[in-house]
Structures are given as structure tokens and as C-alpha cells.
Structure 1
Amino acid sequence: MIYKTKIKVRWSDLDANQHLANSQFLNFTSAARMEALEFCGLPLHRLYELHRGPVILEEKINYYKEVMPGRTLIIHTEIDGFSSNGVLFSFKQNIYSEEGLHHAHATLFGCWLNMQERKMAKDLPEEMLESLKKILSKNVRELNFQDIKKLNPKPQNIHLEELL
């Protein structure tokens, strides 16, 4: 199912070119994901009680058309990838104007953190698994831990003297 969120572009969302700032697209998609989780029965306070929190490993956005001030955007959010135990997930989000113009497409890959251990969760409570299925895409793909290894680029630490 696709969860739909409406967000109005405010003056504070604009950049120097007087259109929606790139960073705001990501803020809007983040807000839409949290609203979708609430719709599923997983508001922030419930996630705290379950000791689970979402971790973003990769987020990408493609921009198609600028968004002007005062416009209302409709964000479609769905989970399009899910591991068998639910620990890995990917979201697909599309941002449209009220007229149906496609302004941007965002994808996100992440996992659930066990907030007590501060590590990737080994599993999810059954309640969470069932709740998240409410916004699964019709064409959901199965994720596995090999998908994490496909993320690029890989981190590369440097020596302190190289920082300055």
C-alpha cells in the first residue's frame, strides 16, 4: 500500500533561488516516513518501548522539477524492500504536485537498531513485522545482508594529521 502525505512549502523551506531547497526534499521525505510509521501503528513512543530505531545506511534523491513557494506537495511512501526478518528495509518515495507533476524520487536503504545493544537488531518483534506490512509495495523485493555489502562508497579512515 502507498501511504500519502501532504506537505505545504513554506518560506523557510526555500533556498537562494527562491525554490524548495534540496535539503528540504530530504526533510519532507523523512517526515513522510515517520508519518507512515505512525499510520502503521509505530509512532516514535512505541518504537522506544520496543527498543527499536531506524538507521539510514543510504539515501538518494533524483530531482525532476523545481518546487515553488506556497505549493502543496503529495509524497507517496512505501516499503519496496524487506528482509525475511524485517531488519533490513528500503523505502521508495515519490514527490508530486497537486496537479500530478513528478518533482522528485527518493530511495532509502536502512536497518533497525536494537536501542539497548546499540547494534543492528537480530530480529523484530512480531508486532513490528505485522505493522510494517501495511505499507509494503505490491512489488516488494526480498533484501538480505549481501545488500549491505553492495553499498558504496566504503568508509576510509585517515590519520589525524591528514584532517587539517
Structure 2
Amino acid sequence: MTSPASTVFRTPIPLRWSDLDAFNHVNNARYLTFLEQARIEWFQTIGEDWVTEDAAPVVASATLNFKRPIEYPASVFVELFTERLGTTSVVIGHRIVAEDGSLHCDGNVVAVWIERHGGKPTPLPAAVRRASELLLPA
């Protein structure tokens, strides 16, 4: 994983009681939900269509490196940045951090835009490409 860009998309993730396991930690599977929520929030800031009747993103790969558990109660944030930009895909780096900046998890997700009816990769929407370029490392 590369270092995050100087510009990242950062959003708070409120913890819910249902996120916890029997040890009062956030269940590892919930991290994927947190990352999905952050990606959707980022895509919604683009201001243009990022999903249409013809094309939509799918997660082709997800990598999570768990660094330390999230214990309830906590204030956590997801930070997103672009690791790599392709023709039909974008590798979105992510970090889940505490309010003090300590790292709970890092990794990346490969999002590929596909034709909804044929399932074949299709070029990234122009708005997604522009937004992703803003989050590339300097």
C-alpha cells in the first residue's frame, strides 16, 4: 500500500451497538461495511452520475490489514485516497483511524465499472476519473 495522498476523503463512522462482538470490539466483517459507506459518501460528493442504468461499480478485490481493534465507544473515521487509476477500475486506498489518528486498519479496494447487462468492464465515468485524480498521491 502506498502512502495516502495529501488530499484524502475523510468521513466519520458512527459506531452502533450491533457492530460489536462478544469482546466489545467492532466485528471484523463490519470494517467492510464502514469502507462501503465511505465509498458511497465519496461517490455522492462527485456531483454527477457514477452509477447509471448501463454501468455500475463492483468490488473486484478488498484487502484489509487489521492493526488494532476498535473498542466501543470510539470515534473513528475512514480516509480514502486513490492508489491507482486504470481505464475501467480504480484502486481506492483506505485507512480506518481513531480520532487521535491512530491506525485501526488499512488496505485497498479495487472497484471496476461494468456493464450492468453484459457484465463486462466498461470505462470509468468521466466524473469518477476526475474525482479519483484529485485523490492521487502527489
- TM-score w.r.t. the length of structure 2 is 0.84
Percent identity among equivalent residues? 22
Whether 2:15 is the aligned partner of 1:24: answer no
| TM-aligned CA deviation for residue 21 of structure 1 | 0.4
State the alpha-carbon separation in 2 of the partners of residues 50 and 41 from structure 1.
17
Q: Which of residues 20, 29, 36 is equivalent to 1:14? A: 20
In structure 1, what is the Cα distance between the partners aligned to 2:11 and 2:40?
A: 10
Structure 2: state its 5+ residue gaps.
1-6
Partner of 1:137: 136
**Residue 116 of structure 2: aligned partner:** 115
Equivalents in 2 of 1:67, 1:127: separation in Å?
34
Q: Tell me how many residue pairs correspond in the alignment.
A: 132
- Alpha carbons of 1:6 and 1:125: their partners in 2 closer, same or farther (altered >3 Å)? closer
Rg: which structure is higher? 1
Give the structure with the higher percent helix: 1
Contact 2:51 / 2:57 at 8 angstroms: preserved in 1? no
Q: 1:50 deviation in Å? A: 6.0
Cα shift readout 1:128-153 (whole Å, capped 9, x = no counterpart)? 4334433x3225xxxxxxxxxxxxxx
TM-score, normalising length: structure 1: 0.72
Q: In the alignment, which residue of structure 1 is the partner of 2:80?
A: 77
Greater relative contact order: 1 or 2 (C-alpha under 8 angstroms, separation 6 or more)? 2
Q: Which residue of 1 aligns with 2:56?
A: 53
Change (3 A) 1:113 1:101: same
Q: Distance in 1 between matches of 2:106 and 2:121?
A: 27
Which blocks of at least 5 consecutive residues in structure 1 are unaligned?
140-164
Contact persistence 1:4–1:76 (CA under 8 A): yes
